[in-house]
A and B are shown apart, each in its own frame.
Chain A
């Protein structure tokens, strides 16, 4: 085991390398590109015995990934944001092939407006696809998560592809010290890829992903996938226990931080949860009993583990780094469904923040605890809050002022315009 200072993207590449992947269909997109570049270099220098191919789109990339897995090799690929959406048809499709592989998604906000920094609307759009989802909060978790994802997806009781998610910029380009498992130990943990009969061979013809007629057979195969995804809950616990036994690091499906004796708890996904951890420490220093619960596994949904972590708390502040437009926070809705009707269920309060990489500041975490406490005191759930500060609004107004001024200037008659009557504002915009 060696300790290195590496980025989240490098950690994802190391995870794939240590898992002994055979095949990497690739397509570049910020902020993911460093992953495929790193792996491509290792393949070219012979440090990895694998093949990479640059595809014409993420849709093609996911098709090639699924097809190669369905032919019996271990596959890795990576994308972000618009790329994940461009591939979306194939995410749903290849999940049904029951040929597991690992897809790293480096989260990034979705267009429009187009942006680069992270939120979780991209990966949550894949929520119902049949891909399992692991959400990472640290560089170490990315390396370990990729290794665990192969074990989980390839388990005969599961046989589904897995998304390992990390946040763009905050994790993809942040260097943190991480332990890289010894190559042989990692391979021993992951094991060899066993196609379990899902493979095309001359002596063993297979018809894969054929059409069905009618809802009966269709429902059967969809239910079967659902059951397989549910099987991944106990299998995850087994995989995590074995990982801890071999490498000494515990990665439970739901992680609690100072939450055991907490009255008020944050629930968050991904790297922004580390901001909540810092706020929890600050509030604990003031004597407030607050904590954090972070689901690492989002699909399958660890409802039971969330219930046991949250039942008995006074209030939970759910901070969604996503926005289901016209509804609100996605994690909030899922948490409501896990806790509804449970004796001792806490008051659930919804906040949306961190969209497009917007920071969530310590003061906002303090405020969210106050709002959650008040909700518990009054026994009434407040309206969901969209985090935005007065200062941000002032800055935005400045940008709008510039945009308006530019438009007016373009529309006004130019001194060199011989006709003297420049185009109207309407014509120019």
Chain B
């Protein structure tokens, strides 16, 4: 994708002043917090984050918050419905002249993959259907992370979790939440990852110019849930993109574009072998069949990918 017209031509253009406060209760190396911090830098403090039950619930613990703007904790199933109430109320207040337009806020929901793929799917689909003007962010750590990484509908094939802890691992492929979102025809949708901050910032910047439901799906490498050293969080994120496991893509004006091609010849094992949740695929002996099945899933995805992507 050409960066023409973007405020973010290169990594040097990214905000050097970060808005999200430090010292939160998140785990060291949290890929979800990394993505949210980068997103917050672009969206700014004139925002209200409407949170669903999940890891990020612990961002705001009385009397502390890392946000400069506002926050509303709802429940696991209905953050997008909370966003509807806040958005409609702000529209009413501005429309009726009860608050000046400069008091208006951008409404952002925050959901984990457990919420977004499961009990909040109805509320999310309803919000897209109604054309709600909001950002909908899902930090996807591929399991019920806040309760200790049980399998969720987003857990990938073969991964060990707290509930698929022994044997061959999670028995089926990750749910295509992005595809479900697109079937609802949102105004904008994109996948992002903290390890690709330029791509993330460009997408958020573009989404800011659009009104309606803007859906952001962020893969959130999870040191505690996936089993890796927190210092490797960015490296694992990069590998997710380069091996083609996490396709960076963008949907706008009814068109889907892939932003980065997987690196030729870089197999999924480069990504898998760095995480304890996939260690049973390599030790005590290598399970070539299981690794090939995961590779086949990735290859099949890219064979069917809608448009060529630039490196």
Contact = CB atoms under 8 A, between A and B. Distances in A.
Interface of A: 22-23, 25, 49, 51, 53, 55-57, 59-61, 63-73, 75, 89-90, 93, 200-213, 217
Contacts of B75: 59, 63, 89-90, 93
Given A201-B105, A217-B62, 17 more contacts: A22-B96, A23-B92, A25-B85, A57-B123, A63-B82, A67-B74, A69-B89, A72-B99, A89-B77, A202-B103, A205-B45, A205-B68, A207-B60, A208-B70, A208-B71, A208-B73, A210-B65
Contact of B88 (A51, A209, A210): A51
B61 interface: yes
B77 A59 contact: yes
B81 interface: yes
Contacts, number: 151
Contact of B70 (A25, A61, A206, A211): A206
B126 A209 contact: no
Interface of B: 45-46, 48, 50, 57-58, 60-62, 65, 67-75, 77-86, 88-93, 96, 98-99, 102-105, 122-123, 125-126, 130
A127 B255 CA distance: 50
A23 B61 contact: no
B32 to A, nearest CB: 17
Contact of A205 (B67, B123, B130): B67
A90 B78 contact: yes
A73 B95 CA distance: 12
A73 B104 CA distance: 14
B89 A23 contact: yes
A26 B21 CA distance: 38
Contact of B83 (A61, A67, A205, A206): A67
Contacts of B98: 72
A59 B88 CA distance: 17
A376 B96 CA distance: 62
25 contacts: A57-B122, A57-B123, A59-B78, A59-B81, A60-B123, A64-B84, A64-B85, A66-B82, A67-B83, A67-B84, A68-B85, A72-B93, A73-B89, A73-B92, A89-B77, A200-B72, A201-B105, A203-B102, A207-B60, A207-B65, A207-B70, A208-B73, A209-B73, A210-B61, A213-B62
Given A59-B77, A60-B126, A73-B92, A212 B61 contact: yes
Given A60-B81, A60-B122, A90-B75, A212 B62 contact: yes
Contact of A210 (B60, B89, B91): B60
Contacts of B103: 201-204
Contacts of B68: 205
A425 B60 CA distance: 60
Nearest to A22: B92
Contacts of A208: 70-73
A399 B60 CA distance: 58
A65 B75 CA distance: 14
A365 to B, nearest CB: 44
A66 B50 CA distance: 12
Contacts of B84: 25, 53, 55, 60, 64, 67
Contact of A200 (B70, B102, B130): B70
A71 B89 contact: yes
B62 A67 contact: no
A77 B113 CA distance: 30
List the 3 closest A-B pairs by CB distance, nearest first: A67-B85, A56-B126, A60-B81
Contact of A211 (B57, B78, B92): B57
A56 B130 CA distance: 10
A89 B81 CA distance: 14
Contacts of B99: 72, 201
Nearest to A210: B60
A391 to B, nearest CB: 45
Nearest to A218: B62
B140 to A, nearest CB: 22
A210 B82 contact: no
A210 B62 contact: yes
Contacts of A64: 81-82, 84-85, 88
Contact of A63 (B48, B70, B74, B102): B74
Nearest to B71: A207
B118 to A, nearest CB: 13
Contacts of A207: 60, 65, 67, 70-71
A205 B96 CA distance: 21
A271 B12 CA distance: 70
A89 B99 CA distance: 31
B85 A65 contact: yes
Contacts of A57: 122-123
Contacts of A203: 102-103
Contacts of B91: 51
Given A63-B74, A72-B93, A209-B73, A56 B123 contact: yes
B95 to A, nearest CB: 9
A59 B45 CA distance: 29
A368 B120 CA distance: 49
Nearest to B78: A63
B74 A53 contact: no
Contacts of A53: 84, 88, 130
Contact of B126 (A23, A55, A71, A72): A55
A202 B67 CA distance: 13
Nearest to B85: A67
A55 to B, nearest CB: 6
B86 A71 contact: yes
Contacts of A204: 103
Most buried by A among B67, B72, B91, B104: B72
A207 B65 CA distance: 7
A403 B174 CA distance: 47
A314 to B, nearest CB: 49
Contacts of B71: 206-208, 210
Given A51-B88, A205-B70, A67 B57 contact: no
A79 to B, nearest CB: 14
Contacts of B67: 205, 207
Contacts of A71: 85-86, 89-90, 93
B245 to A, nearest CB: 32
Nearest to A93: B75
B72 A67 contact: yes
Most buried by A among B45, B70, B85: B85
A201 B89 CA distance: 11
B48 A200 contact: yes
B154 to A, nearest CB: 21
